[in-house]
Amino acid sequence: MGALKSFFKDTAIYGLATVLPRLMNFVLVPLHTDTLPTTSYSDNTLFYVYAAFFNVLLTYGMETAFFRFFSRSDEKSKVFSTAFISLTITTILFFAIVFFNAESLANWVNLKQSYFNLLVGVLALDTLVVVPFAYLRATGRPIKFTAIKLSNIVVYVLLNFFFLWAIPKFGWQFSFYDKTDLVQYIFVANLAASVLTLLLLSPYFFKTKLEFNTTIFKQLLNYGWPIMVAGLAYVINENFDKWLLPELLGKNINGAYSGCYKIAVFMTIFIQGFRLGAEPFFFNHAKEQNAKQTYAAIMKYFVIFGSFMLVFIVAYLDVFKELIVRDEAYWIAIDIVPIVLLANLFLGMYFNLAIWYKLTDKTRYGMYISVFGALITIAFNYYMIPKIGFMASAWATLAAYGVMMITSYFLGRKHYPVPYNISSIFTYLFVAVVLATIAYTNLLFKPNYYISTVCVFVFLGVVFLLEKNDIKQLLNRKK
């Protein structure tokens, strides 16, 4: 229980670093969808699709590799220094190559030149702070990590409101301001926030003597490159739909789809908070005698919380829709939300299961699984979008993450067996899907929030019945 307590404590703090920024982004979605037409929102989405893709390329698995070798190395300063120098050099090279080919590259990714320039700036700055951020997590400094992350998002949010709301609202006049191209100021705000983060983390650039160790570099690279490939596959799974939809169905549909996709933000928050706390925890506790039992317990609680969120969000989807995406032009894609929520829950379970190949240094399996999922995503989208429209993209995401989750579970049983309580996990998932289906069917016809509330409390009742012994032990311990 001590290890679990430590895990939940760190996850709560790291979750704060994820929850508050996401909640602030939650505030921004209504601002963006209110001020941007669906076509401009599609441009905003495409910008961040490319940001995610190039971010994986530029970090080439170095963050996870850093955790792996920093946690077990006796020469921690050399691991930090080598990883930092490696990313700094490759980032400078990337910036130089792009600088001399900016126009052709901007045309290739189908972005305006000004948008592309801002994208490159954000990518370079964010890559330089990867190792310092990882160092804070690996050395158990979640509060400082969280404070810097929150500083970043505060600047980003305030500048969004300044450019998209305050200037039009009060009629302020600025020579640089172009009210016909508001989406560019979202990217400007991001660049400013990234500059602040770089300044706040700059003391860690010289935390240790800068020394590049080729042996450590080879170890980091060998461990990290399969993670990079897996990361690229993950980006495809998450974003291929938003890249393909404007080509096949138009920017208008893609903007509506991307806006409604944001309603699943709460599940994403939960998963990201879990990952931030879980990854260093799993590595640091791998040698504990009861490590596998702890991992199994974490998985069960993850599924409980994730399943509850699925039921709760679907039960009150009409409320979330009005709060997050208020422009009715976006609501044509609202049917994707329950599917995307379940897909993200499967993704979170996959992240939990994936610990087996990270702890056994068999990261190539993670690459294979992710590439397999990406192939499903690509094939499903290409084949089904012409047949059933944007709903195909939601179903493709669910299929890809479901297959990845199941594949990882069976491979993990062979290479690093963890005693997961499969019957409990399946029960919670089944009950959640059934209740979410009932709640959503209720909303499709004449919404009755009594039925929605009953669905939520039925799920909580099932949890209490199955977990009452653990709940009683927890309450008795507090007394």
At 283 the pLDDT is 66
Per-residue pLDDT of the chain (479 residues; tens, 9 = 90+): 455 555 555 555 655 666 666 667 667 888 888 888 888 888 888 898 899 889 999 998 888 888 778 767 677 788 888 888 999 999 999 989 998 888 898 888 888 899 999 999 999 999 999 988 888 877 777 778 888 988 998 999 999 999 999 999 888 988 889 888 999 999 999 999 999 999 999 888 876 677 888 888 898 888 888 888 888 888 888 888 888 888 888 888 988 998 888 888 778 777 776 766 666 666 666 666 777 887 888 888 889 999 999 999 999 988 888 888 878 888 888 999 999 999 999 998 998 888 888 778 787 888 889 899 999 999 999 999 999 999 999 999 999 999 999 999 999 888 888 888 899 999 999 999 999 999 998 877 767 788 989 999 999 999 888 887 776 665 555 44
At 19 the pLDDT is 63
- Ramachandran assignment for 111, one of left (phi > 0), alpha (psi -120 to 50 degrees), beta (any other): beta
Amino acid identity, position 184: Q
Q: How far apart are CA 10 and CA 139, in angstroms?
A: 12
Enumerate long-range contacts of 422-428, CB under 8 Å, 24 or more apart.
Answer: 424/300, 424/303, 424/466, 425/299, 425/300, 425/303, 425/349, 427/462, 427/466, 428/303, 428/304, 428/307, 428/462, 428/463
* Residue 113 · residue 102 · CB < 8 Å: yes
At 455 the pLDDT is 92
* N-term to C-term CA, the chain: 16
DSSP class of residue 287 equals T
CB contact set of 205 (below 8 Å; sequence gap of 6+) = 84, 132
At 422 the pLDDT is 92
Amino acid identity, position 276: L
At 195 the pLDDT is 96
At 342 the pLDDT is 95
Q: How far apart are CA 309 and CA 114, in angstroms?
A: 39
At 66 the pLDDT is 84
* Four-residue CA torsion sign, 34, 36, 39, 44: negative
At 380 the pLDDT is 94
Q: How far apart are CA 397 and CA 387, in angstroms?
A: 16
* Residue 364: count of CB within 10 angstroms of its CB: 14
Going by C-alpha positions, the residue among 242, 245, 257, 250 that lies closest to residue 330 is 257
Burial of 395: CB neighbours in 10 Å, binned 0-12, 13-18, 19+: middle
